[in-house]
Structure 1
Amino acid sequence: MSGLQVDLRVPGRVEAAFEVARGEVLAVIGPNGAGKSSLVQALAGLVPAEGTALLDGRDLLALPAKDRHVGLVFQQQLLFPHLSALANVAFGPRARGTGRAEAERVAADWLERFGLGDLGHRRPGQLSGGQAQRVAIARALATDPWLLLLDEPLTGLDVKVAMALRIELGRHLAAYDGATLLVTHHAIDALTIADRVLVLDGGQVAQVGTPAEVSQRPRTEHVARLVGLNVVREAETLVAFPPEVVAVSLAPPEGSPRLRWEGQVADVSPHGDAVRLLVHTTGGPDLIADVTPGAATELGLAPGRAVWLSAKETAVRRYESHPDDWGTVSP
C-alpha cells in the first residue's frame, strides 16, 4: 500500500496502528488527553516514538524531522512574525534548496489559491485569524509534502470564518495526492472533510471507520456527544439513540419501557427550538435529552432536579460492541 502505515508508541501517551492511503484524509478525534497531539508530534519528529511509520516505504521514525517530507499546521499559526505572508509561504521551498524567484512564484501561487493574492506583502500581525491560518496551510502545502498533518487547524476561529475555511480546506485536500491526518474536536470536520475517522481514547485506538459508520454507531461516549447521540453499553451490545427520543418525567415512567434511568439534571441549555438537558444517571452514563421549553418550565427542570429518563425500544439502534465487528442494527 502506498501512503502511510503506522504502528507506533509514545510511551505513556499513545499507542496506535492504522493506515492512510495517498489522497485520503483521516480525521483523528477523541477527548482531551487521548493522545491526538502526541501522535501528530511523533509523526512530525517533535517527540521520540517507538515502532514504525512507513510513508511510501520509508520509515519516518528513522529519519530526522527535516528529512521526513511532512507538512505541519498547528492551531496556533506559528508564522514568522518578521516575514511577510509571501516570505512565510516561500520559506519551506527555500529551506529545501529552491531558488528565491521560484520559491516566491510557488508561494504567490498558493496565496492566490487561498484568496490571499493581494495580501502577500502583509506580516502576520496585519492579518486576521482566518487569513493567518490560510497562510499557515499554504505554507505547509507549498513544500509539496508526502504527508500533511493538521492539528486543530480551525480551532479558535470565528464560526463563520471557520466554516468558510473548512470548505476551502476540503477543496484543497480533495486535490492533494498525499496522505492527510486531520486532528479535530469538531464533528463537522470529521463528517465533511474526512474519508475515514480514527477515534483515540485513553491513548488507544477505540474505533476506525467511515464518517457514517462512526457517527451512526459510536463506540465511545465522547464520539456519541460529538455527533449528538447517547450511547449506552449493555454487556456486549451498544445502544445508541438521539436526545429527542428521550422522555423526561419526575416519577418512574408508567408502563414498561425497556430502557429507563433515574438521575439528576446537571445542566440545562437552549438547543435550537428545544431545551437540552444533561443528566447524570445513577450508576450509569451521562445522557442528554431534548424537551420543549414548555415542558422544561412545567417540570421545573433545573440543575439538581431529580428526574427519570426513558426511551422506547423501537427508537434505539443496537450493535455489537467489539471494535472489529460493526454488528447488525436491531429493527
Structure 2
Amino acid sequence: MTAQLVADLEVADRVRAAFTAEPGEVLAVIGPNGAGKSSLLHAIAGLVDVRGSARLGGTELLATPVRERRVGLVFQGQLLFPHLTALDNVAFGRRSRGEDRRRAEAVARDWLERFGIAELADRKPRELSGGQAQRVAIARALATDPDVLLLDEPFTGLDVSVQMALRIELGRHLRDFPGIALLVTHDAIDALTLADRVLVLDGGRVAQVGPPAEVAAEPRTPHVARLVGLNLVPDGDDLISFTPDAVTVSLAEPEGSSRLRWRGPIATLAPHGDAVRLLVHASPDLLADVTPAAATELELVPGQEVWLSAKATAVSRYGAREAGR
C-alpha cells in the first residue's frame, strides 16, 4: 500500500510549496502560466535541482536515485521513444528495471488492452494519432506500478473530442490507482472531474488547497476565479466573489447604497450562451453578462466607459486567507 507523500520543496527561486497527498488521491495542481506547476512535478521526478524534502512513507524521494524512484511521469507532448513500438514503449520501464522481456511485454499488452489500443501494439509513434500516442504514454507510466503518478497537462494539444474521451478513460484508471496522482492542468474541467483535492499555485507559492467544489465556490486567486467563471474583488481582509450574471451594466452611475459599484472601459464583448459577456477593465477586471437586447439598447462597444454594479445580497464574502494558513 502506497504511503502518504509529505513534501516541502524549493525549486531555485521560483517555487516554494509544502503539501501532503494521500494514497489513492488525485491532487490537481492549478495556477497561471509561470506559477511553477511543472517545476513542482519535475522536482519530485528528479528532473530539476531542488532543496527540501519529499517523504513517501519512510522513503526520502529526493535522496533516492532517479532510476530507483517509483515515479511515473506523463508529459503533455507524449515524448514516446520514436524507434520503439507502442508495446516496447509501454514495456520499457519494466525492462529497464531488469524484468524479463516476456513478463514486461505481458504487462504492457494488458495496459494497451485496458486503454483499448491493443491492436496498435506494433505501431511506431509516428503511426499513431495524438490521442493514441497519449494513451500509450499514460499506459507506459502506469505499467511500472508507480507509487506516484505525475501527469503534466496530459490533454494539451489534443482535439476537444479526444480530450473528453481520454479524460473519461483516465478517470476510470485513476479510480483504481492505489498510488498518489499529481495532475497539473489549466482546465477547470480536469480539476472538477478528476481531482479529490486541488492545490493552487500562484507566484510559486501555495495559495489555496481544498476539495474542488470548495475551491470553485471560494476562489482565492484571480486565476482560479476566472477558471470557474466568477468575479473576484479584494475588500480589506475579505474577498468578494459573484457571477457575471449578477452584474448590472449601465451608462450612468447606479443609485442605491445597497449596491457595490465599479467603473471602467469595455475591453471585449463576445457571445456567451444566450448572453453577451463583457470584460471590463474596472480595477480589477470584471465579467458581466447582459442580454443581446440590452447590449444593443446601450450601444455597447469596446472602449466604452460603463458602470458595473451588484447587489450586496448577490455576492459571497469570505476571508482572503484560508483558516489555518
| Normalised TM-score (structure 2) | 0.97
Q: 1:254 Cα deviation (Å)?
A: 2.6
Q: 1:296 Cα deviation (Å)?
A: 1.6
1:129 maps to 130
Amino acid at match of 1:297: T
Q: Flag structure 1 segments of 5+ consecutive residues without an equivalent.
A: 327-331
Distance 2:240 2:324 in 1: 15
1:273 maps to 274
Q: Flag structure 2 segments of 5+ consecutive residues without an equivalent.
A: none
Distance 1:290 1:222 in 2: 19
1:329 maps to none
1:308 maps to 307
2:155 maps to 154
Matched, 1:106 2:107: yes
Secondary structure at the residue paired with 1:88? Answer: helix
Correspondence list, 1:1-331, <5 A: 2-281=3-282, 284-324=283-323
Q: Judge conservation of contact 1:22–1:179 (CA < 8 Å) in 2.
A: yes
Q: Judge conservation of contact 1:263–1:279 (CA < 8 Å) in 2.
A: yes
Q: What is the count of residue pairs matched by the alignment?
A: 324
Q: Deviations over 1:252-297 (max 9, x none)?
A: 113334311001111111111111111101xx21111111122122
Instruction: Kindly report the root-mean-square deviation, in angstroms, between the aligned alpha carbons of the 2 structures.
Output: 1.2
Q: 1:325 Cα deviation (Å)?
A: 5.6
Q: Judge conservation of contact 2:12–2:49 (CA < 8 Å) in 1.
A: no
Q: Judge conservation of contact 1:81–1:125 (CA < 8 Å) in 2.
A: yes
Distance 1:100 1:109 in 2: 14
Q: Judge conservation of contact 1:3–1:178 (CA < 8 Å) in 2.
A: no
Amino acid at match of 1:304: G
Distance 2:258 2:250 in 1: 13
| Normalised TM-score (structure 1) | 0.96
Detail structure 1 runs of 4+ shifted over 3 Å in the superposition: none
Amino acid at match of 1:279: V
Q: Deviations over 1:10-69 (max 9, x none)?
A: 121100000000100000000001010110110100001001001122111112211111
Distance 1:8 1:319 in 2: 29
Secondary structure at the residue paired with 1:154? Answer: coil
Distance 2:63 2:127 in 1: 39
Q: Judge conservation of contact 1:257–1:310 (CA < 8 Å) in 2.
A: no
Identical amino acids, percent of aligned pairs: 68
